[in-house]
Amino acid sequence: MKDFIAISDYAPKEVQELLDLALRLKKERLSGGNPPLLKGKVLAMVFQKPSLRTRVSFDMAMRHLGGDALYLSPQEIGLGKRESIADVARVLAGYVDAIMARVFDHQHVVELAQWSSIPVINGLSDYNHPCQGMADALTILEEFGSLKGLNVTFIGDGNNVAVSLMHACAKLGANFTLASPEGYDLNPAALKLGQQFAVESKSSITLLRDPHEAVQNAHVIYTDTWTSMGQEEEARARELAFPPYQVNVQLVSEADPKVIVMHCLPAHRGQEITDEVADGPHSRLFPQAHNRMHAQKAILAWLFGVR
């Protein structure tokens, strides 16, 4: 496991071991602090897109483990524009110990990994969001003790976050349902992979149009913004397509009584989710956000071989 590019790259046992490591590191942190497993290590954080959670959670994960993080803004790098991706990868590999990249085009992070001699972590791409997926799985695991047999429903766009959540669920035996408007379905290649993993774990993947049908017996309801960065030109069309997919009190009431509601944030309150749900008793939005840091600690420790 040189790099962390997609949850689909790893066996169910490896995904579970990463989650177990994240749980251990989180407990250590909350009970006094983590040992300096990454003392002397430096993570380069390459950003094409701005972020609150990705930047701060990776920076603090490195600090908690005794290492350091170096933020590189879009203007400083110009990945694939000012300088080729291959050259950026090889230059950084001589300066730092690992690279985290938050990019628009998934191929950019794939190329970084191909040319880099040090570990590369996918901090987000247009195809998937594996670090978010691991934090999501960690949050569900803490709540229910296992993902096996749970019903996880994603309401809205079949986007990069949905892809990683689907793959995590399928690897770990949870039943994944997506309710999306026509034209906003999952990436076909990602769906095919998820279906293969679901067969292996004896779980299911269900695609629906009706959000009310989708939340029946759901243990987890997950949603995301209607329009992500890079989709601004589609904003008007999305604002017309997605209102029936709002996660509100009525929709939540139709799920399992102990359902938890998740959102990767930032949330556009009053659009994909209401204040009453985001701040209500079923919400796990902020523990989920905090788990980004703990899941990423596990990924970092794993890649450096110090678990």
In the residue annotation, 131 being an active-site residue is answered as: no
pTM: 0.96
Active-site pick, 246, 263, 264, 296: 264
Name the β-bridge partners of 247.
273
Measured distance CA(297)–CA(35) in Å, rounded: 12
Please determine, for residue 41, whether its predicted confidence score (pLDDT) is greater than 70: yes
The single residue of 64, 102, 167, 284 carrying the catalytic annotation is 102
Residues 101 and 150 both lie in one domain: no
Residue 1 domain flag: no
169 as an active site residue: the answer is no
Task: Return the pLDDT at 229.
Answer: 65
CA atoms within 13 A on the CB side of 218: 29
Angle at 302 between CA 299 and CA 305, to 5 degrees: 150
Q: How many domains does the chain have?
A: 2
Higher pLDDT, 1 or 92: 92
Q: Please tell me whether residues 121 and 137 are part of one structural domain.
A: no
Q: What percent of the chain has pLDDT over 90?
A: 92
Same domain, 138 and 257: yes
Determine whether 292 is an active site residue.
yes
pLDDT of residue 261: 99
State yes or no: is 29 an active-site residue. Answer: no
Question: What DSSP line would sit under 128-157, residue for residue?
Answer: --HHHHHHHHHHHHHHHS--TT-EEEEES-
User: What 3-state class would DSSP assign to 220?
Assistant: strand
Model pLDDT, residue 197 = 98
Same domain, 118 and 160: no
109: pLDDT strictly greater than 70: yes
Instruction: Determine, yes or no, domain membership for 69.
Output: yes
What is the per-residue pLDDT across 150-200, written as a single tens digit (0 to 9) for each? 999 999 999 999 999 999 999 999 999 999 999 999 999 999 999 999 999
Q: What is the pLDDT of residue 212?
A: 98
Q: What is the Cβ-side half-sphere exposure of residue 214, based on CA atoms within 13 angstroms?
A: 27
Establish whether 75 is a catalytic residue.
Answer: no
Q: Indicate if the pLDDT at residue 118 is higher than 80.
A: yes
